[in-house]
């Protein structure tokens, strides 16, 4: 008898016997959770690779490498470069354009260089921040979606009691259990998304600070070179 009760109260049995709205809620949360984990792992490798490339490029840059040679090196590896290298490429390309013009004004050259770097910086930040909004949405909305499934399931459990002359815990237990599964799935989807969002937002803020510092430092180096 206990084996039968256990089998009837298994998670798969509860899910399969749940009402259609609750099953739809569970399916939505399951799909959302899979997508969330996909973006979590994808963003993890993206940020790790970006940090590694920035470390390597800064190390080369501050070792006193010739800027023209460094620029040619970045151009030859354009499709494998990181954000900091693309910022350098955009800024140095614009600087060369102004520097080669006869009678070029240093101030105008530096303004154009900064604008080019800023535009590339914005594109790189958009790339790094992509999917973060999805994680934030999952983290904030999933518990409420699960709660909706829970409320619906509990409501159906108590409605079923209207046809029962003597209510016992065995009449409402399956419905309440299936309803609570929806809440658990909502939390399962939300908690990793919130943790990942907070972690990645902090990591991206650090990269943003590094990019902005590099743009200022490169501007100073190019300005000294132009005045020299």
Q: What is residue 77's predicted lDDT score, i.e. its pLDDT?
A: 77
Residues 6+ apart with CB under 8 A from 47: 128, 200, 203, 204, 207
Instruction: Say if residue 8's pLDDT is above 60.
Output: no
Show me where the domains of the chain are located.
2-227
% pLDDT > 90, the chain: 45
At residue 170 the predicted structure's pLDDT band, cuts being 50, 70 and 90, is low
- Range 41-66 average pLDDT: 91
d(CA 205, CA 163): 59
Task: Look at residue 122 in the predicted model and tell me its pLDDT.
Answer: 95
**Among 29, 11, 35, 13, which residue's Cα sits nearest to residue 148?**
29
Section 77-84 average pLDDT: 78
Structure tokens that stand for 173 in this block = 């237990």
């Amino acid at each position: 008898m206990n084996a039968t009760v256990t089998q009837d109260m298994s998670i798969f049995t509860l899910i399969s016997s749940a009402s259609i709205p609750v099953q739809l809620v569970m399916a939505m949360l399951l799909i959302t959770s899979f997508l969330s984990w996909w973006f979590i792992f994808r963003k993890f490798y993206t940020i790790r690779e970006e940090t590694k490339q920035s470390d390597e490029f800064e190390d080369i840059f501050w070792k006193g490498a010739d800027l023209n040679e460094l620029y040619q090196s970045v151009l030859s590896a354009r499709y494998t470069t990181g954000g900091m290298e693309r910022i350098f490429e955009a800024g140095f390309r614009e600087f060369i354009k102004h520097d080669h013009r006869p009678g070029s004004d240093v101030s105008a050259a530096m303004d154009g260089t900064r604008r080019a770097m800023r535009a590339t910086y914005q594109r790189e930040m958009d790339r790094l921040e992509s999917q973060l909004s999805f994680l934030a949405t999952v983290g904030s909305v999933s518990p409420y979606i699960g709660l909706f499934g829970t409320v619906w399931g509990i409501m159906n459990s108590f409605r079923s009691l209207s046809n029962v002359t003597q209510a016992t815990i065995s009449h409402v237990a399956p419905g309440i259990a299936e309803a609570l599964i929806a809440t658990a799935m909502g939390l399962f989807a939300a908690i990793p998304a919130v943790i990942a969002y907070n972690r990645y937002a902090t990591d991206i803020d650090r990269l943003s600070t590094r990019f902005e510092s590099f743009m200022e430092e490169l501007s100073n180096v190019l300005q000294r070179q132009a005045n020299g």
